[in-house]
Amino acid sequence: MSVEDTLVNVLFSFWTGLAIVILVVLKSGLKFVPQNRALVVERFGKYHTTLGAGINFLLPFIDKVAYDQTLKEMAVDVPSQSAITRDNISVEVDGILYSKIIDPFKASYGIENFAFAVAQLAQTTMRSEIGKLELDKTFEERVSLNAAIVSSINEAASPWGIQVLRYEIKDIKPPKTVLEAMERQMKAEREKRAAILESEGLREAAINRAEGEKRSKVLAAEADRAQSILRAEGEALAITTVAEAKARALSMVGAAAASMEGQKGVQFDLATRAIQAKEAIARHSSVVLLDAHSTSTAATVAEAMAVLAAINQSGSLNATNRPA
């Protein structure tokens, strides 16, 4: 191999190696940061910058990624702990905390383990807030209790670059004796409400029954009154009709008796009635005292004729024909 060939080979190897070194350096300097993540970069051991999502370039062997922080919301489980309420009752409380990093620099350099620190802070704040409430209020005011814990934690965790979004109490466990007393209290309260509802139902039923009876009596009284009114009106109408019929009959009889033919008819009717009356007396009595001159039919007719003649002489039959 000639000297020229050797020189060419050396130059080729040099440039090839240089290209490989440059590629390696470029690759080590390029950083692809995912979405919702942040890289804290140090230069010569000192904080330099924070890289966001996208393509970023670092100086090889000079810049170093010191911390890789996630910007997503994180759930931190707060272990169960004992707390004493305002009325001196010990309860076991556990919860869950939702937080996120809002400042990667403070989260990296402000505290060593922010998740542990936030959990401990949540426990101490929870004990403090529960100590302000009575046992019954801890069950009723969970929303306000959670809001108070979140406010207290955010105030203390602001130098760490951490924001607590919400806190949820998972469970509150009173002592067994207190639970038994609460169960008895709730049972008594339910029985009380049941008794009240039952009594109200009975009262409503009695009121409805009384209203129904009252309405029934009122309707019956109204029906009786209407029936009495209709009966009275019917009787009055009947009496009026009978009286009018009798008046018309008497008027017709009087008008007929004023004529000669009518007087003869009246004489005949009186004679007939007299004979019938004596026959009835004879049928219903075993002893009859009679005048010797009035035993015959002729005598009876003569008496009736004498009565009619006396009436005619007095003018009673002609009174209807006189002008008023």
Cα gap 65→42, rounded to integer Å: 6
pLDDT, one tens digit per residue, over 97-110 is 898 998 899 888 88
pLDDT at 282: 65
pLDDT at 185: 80
Output the CA angle 205-211-213, nearest 5 degrees: 100
Cα gap 80→257, rounded to integer Å: 128
pLDDT at 317: 44
pLDDT, one tens digit per residue, over 126-178 is 888 888 888 878 877 788 888 888 888 888 888 888 888 888 888 888 878 77
DSSP state letter for 147:
H
Cα gap 8→284, rounded to integer Å: 183
pLDDT at 323: 41
Q: HEC string of 78-145?
A: EEEEEEECCCCCEEEEEEEEEEEECCHHHHHHCCCCHHHHHHHHHHHHHHHHHCCCCHHHHHHCHHHH
Residue closest to 168 by CA, chosen among 73, 118, 85, 93: 93
Residue closest to 294 by CA, chosen among 274, 310, 264: 274
The CATH class for the domain spanning 74-174 reads alpha beta
Domain spans of the chain, in order of start: 3-70, 74-174, 259-324
Cα gap 24→129, rounded to integer Å: 57
Average pLDDT per block of 10 residues along the chain, 324 residues long:
60 68 70 87 88 83 86 87 84 88 88 85 86 81 84 86 87 78 81 88 89 87 87 87 81 70 68 70 58 53 59 50 42
pLDDT, one tens digit per residue, over 269-291 is 766 776 777 666 666 655 554 55
DSSP state letter for 34:
P
pLDDT at 30: 78
What's the order of all strands across the beta sheet hosting 74-84? 74-84, 90-101, 162-173
pLDDT at 141: 78
**Integer angstrom CA distances of residue 36 from 31, 33, 57, 226:** 15, 9, 18, 92
pTM above 0.75, yes or no: no
